[in-house]
């Protein structure tokens, strides 16, 4: 009877952790448009976006497929919002969001958590290239960590599957189950 209780408890814990695990956003999205490199006369200090759209070529992939053509003017079946930033705003600055369907609901957003100057931080800043990391948030508030790149021709955002806390919890529950099974075997 005790073994049956342990088996049911382990099964219930596994079921709960699998419910807690969210699907990460996977894919790439490219945003093109115009921007101004903010600077202090010597070094770049941030980016001001002055308009843009989700590029249709290359087309968004994965979970972002079908978002091509959405722009800051509300065309393409949705609304793109770009938020300018200074490097001193980082970490935790949401730099873009997309409302699919123009229903005033943010379906996707990207929050920048780090930024690094790769090249072009002088002489007019026309060749400025940045890279960084951040996280995507979907309509359910689930976060997926990804990479960000910027050049004067546009910005690229991509996500990759990374371990999340729910997966670690699932692994821990499995190890706990093995511990219970071993203990039960020793006492029998």
Query: Of 25, 9, 14, which is closest to residue 147 (Cα–Cα)?
Result: 25
HEC string for the chain = CHHHHHHHHHHHHHHHHHHHCCCCCCEEEEEEEEEEEEECCCCEEEEEEEEEEECCCCCCCHHHCCCCCCECCCCCCEEEEECCEEHHHCCCEEEEEEEECCCCCCCEEEEEEEEEEEECCCCCCCCCEEEEEEEEEECCCCEEEEEEEEECCEEEEEECCCCCHHHHHHHHHHHHHHHHHHHHHHHC
Does residue 91 share a domain with residue 16? no
Query: Of 59, 62, 97, 99, which is closest to residue 79 (Cα–Cα)?
Result: 99
Q: In angstroms, rounded to a whole number, what is the distance separating the alpha carbons of residues 10 and 12?
A: 5
Does residue 136 share a domain with residue 85? yes
Return the pLDDT at 166: 52
Does residue 176 share a domain with residue 95? no
Q: In angstroms, rounded to a whole number, what is the distance separating the alpha carbons of residues 114 and 38?
A: 17
Does residue 64 share a domain with residue 10? no
Supply the range of the domain harboring residue 8.
2-20+166-187
Which residues of the chain are under the pLDDT cut of 50?
Answer: 4, 7-9, 12-21, 161-163
Q: Cβ contacts of residue 17 below 8 Å, gap of 6+?
A: 166, 169, 170, 173
Span 95-131, pLDDT tens digits: 889 898 878 888 889 999 998 888 876 666 777 888 8
What is the number of domains present in the chain?
2
Return the pLDDT at 16: 45
Angle, helices 2-20/165-187, rounded to nearest 10 degrees: 170
Return the pLDDT at 153: 66
Return the pLDDT at 19: 44
Does residue 174 share a domain with residue 92? no
Does residue 175 share a domain with residue 151? no
Does residue 31 share a domain with residue 65? yes
57: exposed, middle or buried (C-beta count within 10 Å: 0-12, 13-18, 19+)? exposed
Span 74-90, pLDDT tens digits: 888 888 888 999 988 88
Return the pLDDT at 122: 63
Does residue 133 share a domain with residue 68? yes
pTM tops 0.85, yes or no? no
Does residue 80 share a domain with residue 43? yes
């Amino acid at each position: 009877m005790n073994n049956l209780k342990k088996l049911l408890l382990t099964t219930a814990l596994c079921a709960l952790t699998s419910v807690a695990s969210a699907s990460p956003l996977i894919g790439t999205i490219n945003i093109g448009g115009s921007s101004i490199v903010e600077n202090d006369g010597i070094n770049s200090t941030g980016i001001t976006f002055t308009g843009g759209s989700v590029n249709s070529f290359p087309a968004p992939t994965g979970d972002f497929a079908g978002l091509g053509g959405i722009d800051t003017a509300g065309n393409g079946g949705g609304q793109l919002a770009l938020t300018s930033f200074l490097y001193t705003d980082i970490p935790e600055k949401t730099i873009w969001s997309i409302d699919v369907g123009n229903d005033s609901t943010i379906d996707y957003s990207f929050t920048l958590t780090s930024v690094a100057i790769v090249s072009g931080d002088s002489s007019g800043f026309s060749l400025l290239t940045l890279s960084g990391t951040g996280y995507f948030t979907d309509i359910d508030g689930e976060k997926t960590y990804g990479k960000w790149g910027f050049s004067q021709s546009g910005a690229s955002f991509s996500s990759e599957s990374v371990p999340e806390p729910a997966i670690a919890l699932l692994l821990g529950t499995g190890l706990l189950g093995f511990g219970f099974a071993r203990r039960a075997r020793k006492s029998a």
